[in-house]
Structure 1
Amino acid sequence: MYRFLFHRPLIAISLGLVTPAVFAALQPLAEAPLASDTELHCHFNRDASTDCTTTYQYTILKPSGREMLSRIDFDYSEGDTFEVLGAQSTQPGAKPVALADTQIDTRTAPNPDQGFSRDKQTSLAFPNLRVGTQIRYTVREHHPAKPLMTQFHYALKFGPSAARRDHFKARFTAERPIQWRSEGFDGFQVTPSANGKTLDVVQKAPTFLNYINESPNAALLHIPRIEVGSALERQAYFGDLGQRYNQILGANLPPQSAAAVAAVRNLAPAEQVARLMQHINDHYRYLGDWRATERGYVPFNLAEIEQHGYGDCKDLAILLTALLKASGIHAETAWVSRGDLAESLLIPGTHAPNHAIVRAQVDGQVWWLDPTNPVFAPGQTMPDLQDRWVLVNDAQGQVREEHIPLERAETTLRLNKQVHYDQQGNATIQATLAFSRLPLMQLSVADRQQGATATDQNICANFGHEISDCRVSRAATGFVVHDGYSITANMSDQRALEKLGNDYVYSDESLKGRWDTFIDYRRQGQQADLDQGNPQTNDYTITLSGGQMEKTIPGCQVRSPWYDLDLEGKREDGVLRYHYRLSQKMRWLTHDEIVSAAFGKMVDDARACAEQVHQVVKL
């Protein structure tokens, strides 16, 4: 069931310098654990409430299918109506047996991690499941219209699934003509009625699409999806909400907020924004309150938010907007779909966004501010908000569409590492790191969530195989971070070189590992698109001493639409020093790009470049 803002944004805490390997593949049809047959009928009432009746049928094909159907849960809001109209199971060669009432349980659903509600949860537990068992159940749901929502909007998506989808049929009916838009929907037949008030969606042929051994950074950028609505104009969906937001913003600031604005009155705009973001972080926490009433998109008023000392995204966004406007900074609330994957906007309806943020103009630049995050870097947009559409509400309640750009590949990590070997292949290491932008934000979040000691251990672990005596020196991080944060580290590595006969071998996995990942992807015939994270540039200077290096590093360059790599080296007086810069220029790598000849050539060139560093060391 739709609810505006499900969770708080989290930043991945990973200080590793090597991209993890990707092993994502399509699961064979013969291994499908379930077969499904679904029929859906949703009616959109004139008051924008919705009634949906759905019949689900599953056949267990593999033992793992039993566990997948062990308990079937339905969560719904306290104000919704949910009924199980019928449920039965059929064993192979036997007659259908109705599910006993004792196998249907309704209770209060667990509260979300950072919020509380009075949602209900109804569960079905079918007995005696085994391979060949078929279960069938029909449920009916009524969803009242949310406050200030006069239009209906419904989305269907067909991503990877462990169930083989043998049949799917949906019928949408309404009291007014139905508008629809789709993407990648060739596998379905869509048939509108003559009066436009009925829309039938029927799957053309059975299909099975599931991924096995999928990497954490693998996804599908495009999946079959269709959206239906009563309008195609964003103002029809968000106009009344925009007016309500402006009514809330028109009220006087409550005392604590007024004092915060007064405290920053004489500061420069960028510093005002930073201080007000810090104020919200210090005095408010992310906590959604969905008890008693479903507010949908409507925030609490400013006085209520201050009284609570917490709020969800729409509450904190409208509070920040009010603080900025009172400080003389042009600020507007905005709605966006937050997440690693940004889908195109089919219908600008109320199911399209899932998050509220703030658009602010600061020193002639547009800043996209998210006051629910545990870190703030002035002028930088969080990764889960970049390169996507956003709906902005102006002072007159007119909603416009803008685009949040992708960050440029700025230098985010600069490393200067000096390694000195002894006669046993051990090493003493001295390193200086400068963190900026996303890696710095990740560092701050890591300190906040797990403590600086654990973060220091993570930093040390990146420098070698058997690190000991690691000492990290750095200033404390905080909620507001600024580029150029420096760290120094000193340590020993008991296995700095790999033994090879009477000699030792040196390699740089941080330079080599990324390309091996892509080689594996191409060799194994992988299919998924890969999320590489923020565009960024890493700059490394490595100095090796204490041993006789086999060769010099002639240097090389690689240029491509995806990565740029520069390597240069110098050897003199028994010391080898090399420097390389690696720029990742794209957020996503599509399957078609990765398997292309041009990408393959880039990988080959980059790997050959990285192998220049690999060499024998005599001690």
Structure 2
Amino acid sequence: MAKKSRTIPPVFSAACAALILFSAGCGDGSPISEARNYVYRSDVFYKRAAVIYRSIKGPQARLELGSLYFSRGEYEQASAELSGLDFPEAQRMLAMSYFRSGDFTGALEIFKKNPGGDGEYLYYYGRTCEKLNLFDDALSVYRKIKSGKFSALASERIESIVKSSGPGTAGGEMRALISSSGGQAEYPEAGALILFARESVEITPDNREVSDCHYAVKILNQRGKEDFSEAKIEYDSTYEKVELGFARVIKPDGSMVEVGGRHLRDVSKYLNFPLYSNARVLIISFPELGEGAVIEYKFRIVRSELLAGKEFVFHYPVQSSEPILNADFSLRFPSGREAGIKLLNEKFNDFGARLAPSVERDKDFTVYRWSFRSVPQIIPEPQMPPAAEINPSILISSFSSWRDIYDWWDSLSRDKIASDGPVRRKVKELLHKCRSEEERARAIYNYCAGQIRYVAVEYGRAGYEPHNAGDIFRNKYGDCKDQAVLLVTMLREAGLKAWPVLIPTQDTYNLNPDFPAVIFDHCIAAVELSGGLVFMDPTAETCSFGDLPTGDQARRVLIFRPEGYEIAETPLFPPGHNLLVQELKIFPQKQYAISALRKVTAGGVYGQGQRYWLQYTQPDMIKQSLTQRIQEIAVGAELEGYDISGLANLDLPVVLSYSFRGGDYFIPAGDLRILPGMAYADTSLTAREKRIYDIEFDMLDRRESVQEIVLPAGWKIRYLPGSFSEESPWLRVDVEYSVKGNSLVFRQRTEIKRRRISAAEYENFREFSRRLALKTKERVVLEKEKR
């Protein structure tokens, strides 16, 4: 009787045939060939065994298949097979598989159900607890390991976690530095004192970047403790690795507290957004920190890939929000490469820092060095310019041209700007009723701004390469470069000319046309319409088409056209663009009470802010806020209701209307009645006698206030302040009082004409503000009509 042969699954037929060839002597007979033969045969037998196990039903087959996967390091497959099996060995391997595949929560659940085991099992139980920041549980588990090779490993983990005050004290050099550094009396404005900041960067010949940082900070008061109780080291896990050398607290008596594992957290910055899981932060929490203590920590960041493969850009701000006693920075790069240097904000270097580097060269490397001593802190002033415009800084770039920067980022982004089926269908749907190019652009922008969730990742923090437009469309979230890529893709699909734009916002250094450097912190888009170029920021979800957030305005940008780059400047919108109009009509009631209607119409940046507040504030909180505001008009005022229009439509202004009632509006003064002040002048910016820094307004704007007060029956105006206009290079204020029938009408228009008031102009501006304030203090006075 013929024997029935086993059928070989098709997927393995070719592999088995190849195995026969190997077995038949195919190869050169060398030891390496023999080794390869065994590796290949083991792989084929492994796959064959897995197929047979899967064909067998029952828990024993699943256990052995799971064990096979586990032995081969296929932990996710092992978990799938072992899950639900009650065998002790299955539970052991399942817990270990979860741990090794990064599912620490799943591993902990199994470990807790089966808390006993050998040294290896307990060791990984403890490691799981550490990964989940359960350090006390980890210590308890590690201490159960009494012998074997895992006992030594457990002891190391215990030592790593339980670093604490010990007999060690700070070295003589550190003690001398701390004792000679001074304290709150010498630095009355400081919260902490930076004893030293030692930073060095090396660009290696194989195009890696190695950064070493060593800091020591003395805590002077509670504010300093709050600011420096944690150190956060951000990095991109795709290309960067952080190596913490040490971290410790040196107490005022010289004893040291080492930072152990329980005080370290390595976490994702954007936990809820898997696309940006590479953006991570190592958080060091300093224990036993108090006034007079010093934190000291040292770390290294190794980056495996440079910009464009071989380029680098650094910016070094000299000052800080706290005084710096000693700061050293060096940059070392291979000889034959060039690095340009640009000095910024030199006029604020009134403390004599030498901003030019000392240069050392040999046949292998060029080294730039800077050393700074006794650097004063930046003392904040109201409405001062951002630090990027006032802090003396050093900008370093190896890029030789803007074309090089264009070629680099264009290569990262060009193929991402591509439509797929879902994107094309959405564009077709959005354009159904659009007739003009502007209507098409507006409809697509409104969709991207309103429906694609913004993940606030600063440009470069999670890599420079955007994701595919189709992926962003499906996920419905993205960072700035992703949202810009999707917007440009959809605009091009609609037949429009559109491009991504890299922009340094107001909080960073502006683009210098003569100094190519990657200093951008944001990405937006531009579209060409018949009226010219329109810049769009889809991350600003409450910003209308044609408008921009204040941080995007008046900035030099890099436009990525298909044929090459263009350096352009975003607009600074005129005062009338950012318009806030408040209209109030007051009707007298019995005694001194009133009823009132108020309407607030907001456009431009005011519209962005009002739209955001109304969209993301609970109705009850809106009522509470409005109730608080109307107390300024009438004592004990009660809100009757409110209405919002234009909120959901970015093409319309946001209008908030509300009605209220209140008492004691007409203030009695004997036989007279005095009305609350109507004119207003903000003098908060002129409280200081002198300023170091300019005053910088967020925007140019115009605010209009219109009040109509119906006079109570039997009363007339005894004193009406005079109308006036005051104008300066910076502001224009027009105030008008008039009588219309039985109503008093008040109008005020305040317009910011210039965004910046220089420190040299401050005294004149201060005098203008005082003069204006005096004129706005006058009140309307009523008296009874004579019968």
User: How many residues align structurally?
Assistant: 575
Q: Do structure 1's residue 77 and structure 2's residue 236 form an aligned pair?
A: yes
Change (3 A) 1:70 1:147: closer
The match for 1:533 among 690, 695, 698 is 698
CA RMSD of aligned residues (A): 3.4
The reply on whether 1:174 has 2:333 as its aligned counterpart is yes
**Equivalent of residue 556 in structure 2, options 374, 384, 389:** 389
- The equivalent of 2:192 in structure 1 is 34
Q: Distance in 2 between matches of 1:402 and 1:281?
A: 23
Partner of 2:315: 155
The amino acid of 2:586's aligned partner reads: V
2:511 to 338, 342, 345: 345
Question: Is residue 53 of structure 1 aligned with residue 203 of structure 2?
Answer: no
SS at match of 1:345: coil
C-alpha separation in 2, matches of 1:444 and 1:88: 47
Pair 1:493 & 2:493 matched: no
Instruction: Name the SS for the 1:538 alignment partner.
Output: strand
User: Are 1:107 and 2:263 counterparts?
Assistant: no
Please state whether the residue corresponding to 2:587 is helix, strand or coil: strand
Contact 1:117 1:289 in 2 (8 A): no
User: Which one of 142, 145, 148 corresponds to residue 305 of structure 2?
Assistant: 145
**Deviation string for 1:347-378 (max 9, x for gaps)?**
5422x111111111223232111112222423
Q: What is the letter of the counterpart of residue 562 of structure 1?
A: W
TM-superposed CA distance for 1:333, in Å, is: 0.6
Deviation at 1:48, TM superposition (A): 4.7
2:613 to 417, 422, 446: 446
Summarize the Cα distance change of 1:93–1:282 in structure 2 as closer, same or farther, 3 Å threshold.
Answer: closer
What SS class does the counterpart of residue 471 from structure 1 fall into? Answer: strand
Instruction: Give me the whole-angstrom Cα distance separating, in 2, the residues matched to 1:51 and 1:507.
Output: 65
Instruction: Give the 3-state SS of the residue equivalent to 2:580 in structure 1.
Output: strand
Which residue does 1:478 correspond to in 2?
648
SS of the aligned residue for 1:29 comes to: coil
Q: Work out whether residues 31 and 62 of structure 1, in 8 Å CA contact, stay in contact via their aligned partners in 2.
A: no
2:718 pairs with 550, 553, 556, which one?
Answer: 550
Gaps of 5+ in 2: 1-184
Structure 2 distance, partners of 1:55, 1:518, is 39
The one of 575, 579, 585 equivalent to 1:409 is 575
Q: 1:582 to 1:364 in 2, by over 3 A?
A: same
Deviations 1:141-168 (A, max 9, x none): 112326745310011224541x321111
CA distance in 1, matches of 2:279, 2:560: 30
The superposition leaves residues 58-87 of structure 1 with CA deviations (integer Å, 9 ceiling, x where unpaired) of 233445544544343323232422223344
Matches within 5 A, 1:585-600: 585-593=753-761, 595-597=762-764, 599-600=765-766
DSSP-derived class of the 1:596 partner: helix
SS at structure 1 position matched to 2:562: coil
Superposition TM-score, scaled by structure 2 size:
0.66
1:468: which partner in 2?
638
Q: Could you tell which deviates more after superposition, 264-273 or 173-182? A: 264-273
Deviations 1:305-354 (A, max 9, x none): 23323222111111111211222222111011235x4633355422x111
CA change 1:235–1:209 in 2 (3 A) is: same
Q: CA deviation at 1:433?
A: 4.0
What letter is aligned with 1:205? S
- Counterpart of 1:18 in structure 2 is none
1:17-61 C-alpha deviation (Å, 9 max, x unpaired): xxxxxxxxxx98235332221111111235553211122122334
Q: What secondary structure sits across from 2:614 in the alignment?
A: helix
- How many angstroms does 1:603 deviate by? 1.5
Report the equivalent of 2:411: 243
> Matched residue of 2:473: which SS?
helix
Aligned-partner Cα distance in 1 for 2:501–2:190? 42
Distance, in Å, in 2 between the alignment partners of 1:393 and 1:488 is 44
**In the alignment, is the contact (CA less than 8 A) between 2:311 and 2:399 conserved in 1?**
yes
1:121-140 matches, within 5 Å, as 121-126=281-286, 128-140=288-300
Q: Paired residue for 1:255? A: 421
Letter of the 2:491 partner, please give it: L
1:364 aligns with 2:522: no
Aligned residues of 1:58 and 1:136 also touching (Cα < 8 A): yes
- Shift in alpha-carbon separation, 1:404–1:289, aligned structure 2, 3 A: closer
The CA distance in 1 between the partners of 2:782 and 2:319, in whole Å, is 51
Instruction: Output aligned runs, 1:171-210, within 5 Å.
Output: 171-175=330-334, 176-185=337-346, 186=349, 187-189=352-354, 190-193=356-359, 195=361, 197-210=366-379
Provide the residue aligned with 1:374 in structure 2: 541
TM-score, reference length from structure 1 = 0.82
What pairs with 1:276-295 in structure 2 (closer than 5 Å)? Answer: 276-281=444-449, 283-287=451-455
8 Å contact 1:147–1:295 — kept in the other structure? no
- Mark the CA change 1:91 to 1:417 in structure 2 (over 3 Å): closer, same or farther: closer
Q: Residue 330 and residue 453 in structure 1: after superposition, are their counterparts in 2 closer, same or farther (change >3 A)?
A: farther
1:277–1:376 Cα contact (<8 Å) kept: no
Superposed displacement of residue 563, structure 1: 1.1
Structure 1 CA distance for aligned equivalents of residues 595 and 186 of structure 2: 50
Deviation at 1:389, TM superposition (A): 1.2
Deviation at 1:507, TM superposition (A): 3.5
- 2:458 maps to 1:271: no
- Could you tell me which residue of structure 2 aligns to residue 615 of structure 1? 780
Q: Deviation at 1:392?
A: 0.7
Query: Distance between the aligned counterparts of 1:554 and 1:159, measured in 2?
Result: 50
SS of the residue corresponding to residue 300 of structure 1 reads: coil
Structure 2 residue identity aligned to 1:559:
E
Choose 221-230 or 531-540, whichever is displaced more.
531-540
Q: C-alpha displacement at 1:501, in angstroms?
A: 5.2
Between stretches 181-190 and 310-319, larger displacement belongs to 181-190
1:43 to 185, 191, 202: 202
The farther-off stretch of 601-610 and 280-289 is 280-289
Task: Describe the SS at the equivalent of 1:197.
Answer: strand
Whole-Å Cα distance in 1 between the matches of residues 453 and 668 of structure 2? 53
Looking at structure 1, the residues matched to 582 and 259 of structure 2 have their Cα atoms a distance apart, in angstroms, of: 65
Q: Is the 8 A contact 1:375 1:479 kept in 2?
A: no
Q: Which moved more, 1:269-278 or 1:127-136?
A: 127-136
Check whether the contact 1:342–1:388 (CA below 8 A) recurs between aligned residues.
Answer: no
Higher strand residue share: 1
- Structure 2 CA distance for partners of 1:245 and 1:72, relative to 1, 3 Å: closer
Distance 1:254 1:452, change over 3 A: farther
Q: Residue 320 of structure 1 is aligned with which of 484, 487, 491?
A: 487
CA distance in 2, matches of 1:125, 1:418: 56
Instruction: Find the aligned partners of 1:165 and 1:289 in 2 and give their Cα distance.
Output: 29
Q: Does 1:354 align with 2:521?
A: yes
**Identity, % of aligned pairs?**
14
* Matches of 1:438 and 1:294, distance apart in 2: 27
Give how far 1:205 is off: 3.4
Report if the CA contact (8 A) 2:236-2:463 is conserved: no
Q: Per the alignment, in what secondary structure is the counterpart of residue 317 of structure 1?
A: helix
Greater gyration radius:
2
Question: How far is 1:542 from its partner?
Answer: 1.9
